[in-house]
Structure 1
Amino acid sequence: MPIRTPLAAALATSLVLALAAPHAEAQRKRRAPAEPALTACSDFYTFVNKDWLTANTVVSGNGTVSALGTLQQRALLQQRALLDDAVLNPQNDVQKLLGDFWASGIDEAAVERDGAQPIATLLSRIEAIRRSKDIAPSIAALHQVGIPVVFNFTADLDLANLDRYIGYFSQGGLALPDPAYYTREDADTRALLGRYTEYVEKILALTGTPQEQLKDEMAQVLDLETRLARISKPLTSLRDPRENYALMPTEGLGKQFRNLQLDEFLSAQGVTDTNVSMAHADYFTQVDGLVRSLKPAQWKVYLRYQIGNAMAPYLAKDFRDAHFSFHGRVLRGETAPKVRDVQVLDAINRAAGPMLAREYVARYLPATTRSRAESIAGDVRAALVRAVAGNTWMSDAARAEAAAKLEKLSIEIGAPQRDYDFSVQPMGRTSFGSNMLIASTWHRREEMRRIGSGNAQRRWGVQPQQPVLAYDIAHNRLIVSAAALQAPVLDMEQDTPAQYGSFGALVGHELSRAVDMKGQLVDAAGSVRTWWTPTDEAAYSTRAKQLAVQYAGYDYPAANGLKVNGTLTSEGNMADLAALELASAALAGAQPELDAAGRESFFRAWAALWREQLAAETAADAARTRVQAPGQWRANGPLVNLPAFAETFKCKAGTAMVRKPEEQVSIWRQPVDAAAAK
Structure 2
Amino acid sequence: MDYAMLTLRPLACALALSLIAGLASPAADAAKKKAAPKSKAPAVANACTDFYGNANADWLRANPLSGAASVSALETLANNARRQQLELLNTAMTSPQGNVQKLLGDFWASGLDEAAVERDGSQPIAPLLGRINAIKKSKDIPASIAALHQVGIPVLFNFGADIDLQDLERHIGYFSQGGLGLPDPAYYTRTDNDTRQLLAQYNVYVQKILTLTGTPKEKLAAESQLVIDLETRLARASKPLADLRDPRANYATVATNTLGKTYKRLQLGDFLKAQGVSDDSVSMANPALFAEMDKLIDQLKPEQWKVYLRWRVGDSMAPYLAKSFRDAEFDFRGKILRGQREQPARQQAVLDAITLAAGPMVGHEYAARYLPAATDQRAEQIAQQVREALAKAIDADTRFSDGVKNEARAKLGKLKIEVGTPKRDLDYTVQPMGRGSFGSNMLIASTWRHREEMKRIGRGNADRRWDVLPQEPSLAYDIAQNRLIVTAAMLQAPVLDMSRPESAQYGSFGALVGAELTHGFDSRGRYVNAKQEVRDWWTPAEVSAWDALAARVAAQYSAESWPGLGSVKVNGNQVRDVAIADQAGVELAWSAYRAAQPAANKDANQTFFKAWAGVWAQQLSPEAAAQRAASGIHAPGQWRTNIPLSNLPAFGEAYGCKAGTAMTRKADQQIKVFP
2:110 equivalent among 95, 104, 113: 104
**How far did 1:106 drift?**
0.8
Kindly indicate whether residue 141 of structure 2 is the aligned counterpart of residue 135 of structure 1: yes
1:225 equivalent among 228, 231, 245: 231
> Equivalent residue for 1:676?
none
Kindly indicate whether residue 44 of structure 2 is the aligned counterpart of residue 46 of structure 1: no
1:211 equivalent among 199, 210, 217: 217
Give per-residue Cα distances to partners, 1:247-283, cap 9 Å, x unaligned.
Answer: 1111131121111011111111111112111111111
* Structure 1 residue ranges, 4+ long, deviating more than 6 angstroms after superposition: 34-38
CA contact (8 A) 2:22 2:74 kept: no
CA contact (8 A) 1:559 1:617 kept: no
User: Separation in 1 of the partners of 2:19 and 2:562?
Assistant: 22
> Equivalent residue for 1:72?
78
1:199 equivalent among 186, 197, 205: 205
- The within-5 A match list for 1:481-520 is 481-520=487-526
User: Separation in 1 of the partners of 2:309 and 2:609?
Assistant: 58
User: Separation in 1 of the partners of 2:317 and 2:447?
Assistant: 13
1:82 equivalent among 81, 88, 91: 88
Kindly indicate whether residue 328 of structure 2 is the aligned counterpart of residue 322 of structure 1: yes
Kindly indicate whether residue 262 of structure 2 is the aligned counterpart of residue 256 of structure 1: yes
How many residue pairs match? The answer is 648
User: Separation in 1 of the partners of 2:327 and 2:583?
Assistant: 47
Unaligned runs of 5+ in 1: 10-16, 22-33, 671-678
1:383 equivalent among 353, 372, 389: 389
Give per-residue Cα distances to partners, 1:269-305, cap 9 Å, x unaligned.
Answer: 1111121111111110011001110111111111111
CA contact (8 A) 2:16 2:477 kept: no
Specify which structure has the bigger relative contact order, considering alpha-carbon pairs within 8 angstroms and separated by 6 or more residues. Answer: 2
Kindly indicate whether residue 241 of structure 2 is the aligned counterpart of residue 235 of structure 1: yes
User: Separation in 2 of the partners of 1:253 and 1:317?
Assistant: 42
Amino acid at match of 1:448: M
> Equivalent residue for 1:343?
349
Amino acid at match of 1:567: N
Give per-residue Cα distances to partners, 1:471-527, cap 9 Å, x unaligned.
Answer: 011111100111111111000011111000000000001001110110110000111
> Equivalent residue for 2:62?
55
> Equivalent residue for 2:303?
297
User: Separation in 1 of the partners of 2:296 and 2:22?
Assistant: 43
> Equivalent residue for 1:428?
434
> Equivalent residue for 1:171?
177
CA contact (8 A) 1:610 1:632 kept: yes
Of 157-166 and 221-230, the range deviating more from structure 2: 157-166
Give per-residue Cα distances to partners, 1:420-447, cap 9 Å, x unaligned.
Answer: 2111011011210000000000111111
Amino acid at match of 2:257: E
Partner SS for 1:470: strand
User: Separation in 2 of the partners of 1:248 and 1:295?
Assistant: 30
CA contact (8 A) 1:640 1:659 kept: yes
Partner SS for 1:40: helix
User: Separation in 1 of the partners of 2:558 and 2:153?
Assistant: 46
User: Separation in 2 of the partners of 1:315 and 1:5?
Assistant: 35
CA contact (8 A) 1:8 1:72 kept: no
Q: 1:4 to 1:430 in 2, by over 3 A?
A: farther
Amino acid at match of 1:518: R
Give per-residue Cα distances to partners, 1:221-240, cap 9 Å, x unaligned.
Answer: 11111110000011111112
Partner SS for 1:65: strand
Give per-residue Cα distances to partners, 1:96-115, cap 9 Å, x unaligned.
Answer: 10000000001111111111
Q: 1:486 to 1:35 in 2, by over 3 A?
A: closer
**How far did 1:419 drift?**
4.0
Amino acid at match of 1:637: I
Partner SS for 2:554: helix
Give per-residue Cα distances to partners, 1:322-381, cap 9 Å, x unaligned.
Answer: 111211221111222211111111111111111111111111111111111111001100
User: Separation in 1 of the partners of 2:509 and 2:544?
Assistant: 31
Amino acid at match of 1:68: L
User: Separation in 1 of the partners of 2:493 and 2:554?
Assistant: 30
Q: 1:137 to 1:2 in 2, by over 3 A?
A: closer
Q: 1:8 to 1:224 in 2, by over 3 A?
A: farther
Of 377-386 and 269-278, the range deviating more from structure 2: 269-278
User: Separation in 2 of the partners of 1:173 and 1:278?
Assistant: 16
**How far did 1:528 drift?**
0.5
Q: 1:120 to 1:136 in 2, by over 3 A?
A: same
Relative to the length of structure 1, the TM-score reads 0.93
Give per-residue Cα distances to partners, 1:169-216, cap 9 Å, x unaligned.
Answer: 111101111111111222222222222112111111111111221111
CA contact (8 A) 2:125 2:440 kept: yes
User: Separation in 2 of the partners of 1:186 and 1:619?
Assistant: 33
> Equivalent residue for 2:12?
none
**How far did 1:59 drift?**
5.3
RMSD over aligned CA atoms reads 2.0
Amino acid at match of 1:628: H
Partner SS for 1:621: helix
Amino acid at match of 2:332: F
CA contact (8 A) 1:6 1:72 kept: no
CA contact (8 A) 1:151 1:171 kept: yes
Partner SS for 2:169: strand
Q: Percent identity?
A: 58
> Equivalent residue for 2:124?
118
**How far did 1:658 drift?**
2.1
Amino acid at match of 1:630: P
User: Separation in 2 of the partners of 1:101 and 1:425?
Assistant: 12
Of 632-641 and 486-495, the range deviating more from structure 2: 632-641
Partner SS for 1:411: strand
Kindly indicate whether residue 288 of structure 2 is the aligned counterpart of residue 282 of structure 1: yes
Of 553-562 and 610-619, the range deviating more from structure 2: 553-562
Amino acid at match of 1:665: I
Kindly indicate whether residue 485 of structure 2 is the aligned counterpart of residue 479 of structure 1: yes
User: Separation in 2 of the partners of 1:185 and 1:95?
Assistant: 52
CA contact (8 A) 2:22 2:71 kept: no
1:636 equivalent among 639, 642, 646: 642
User: Separation in 2 of the partners of 1:152 and 1:377?
Assistant: 37
**How far did 1:654 drift?**
3.2
Partner SS for 2:673: coil
Give per-residue Cα distances to partners, 1:32-63, cap 9 Å, x unaligned.
Answer: xx999960011100001112112212255x61
Kindly indicate whether residue 613 of structure 2 is the aligned counterpart of residue 607 of structure 1: yes
2:250 equivalent among 244, 247, 270: 244
> Equivalent residue for 2:461?
455
> Equivalent residue for 1:374?
380
> Equivalent residue for 2:11?
none
CA contact (8 A) 1:547 1:665 kept: yes
1:659 equivalent among 656, 659, 665: 665
> Equivalent residue for 1:571?
577
Amino acid at match of 1:214: L
CA contact (8 A) 1:2 1:68 kept: no
Amino acid at match of 1:505: A
2:419 equivalent among 413, 419, 431: 413
Amino acid at match of 1:661: A
> Equivalent residue for 2:7?
none
Partner SS for 1:41: helix
User: Separation in 1 of the partners of 2:622 and 2:469?
Assistant: 32
**How far did 1:544 drift?**
0.9
Partner SS for 1:515: coil
User: Separation in 2 of the partners of 1:219 and 1:192?
Assistant: 15
User: Separation in 2 of the partners of 1:449 and 1:273?
Assistant: 10
CA contact (8 A) 1:560 1:620 kept: no
User: Separation in 1 of the partners of 2:98 and 2:636?
Assistant: 44
Q: 1:420 to 1:8 in 2, by over 3 A?
A: farther
User: Separation in 2 of the partners of 1:200 and 1:299?
Assistant: 15
CA contact (8 A) 2:647 2:671 kept: yes
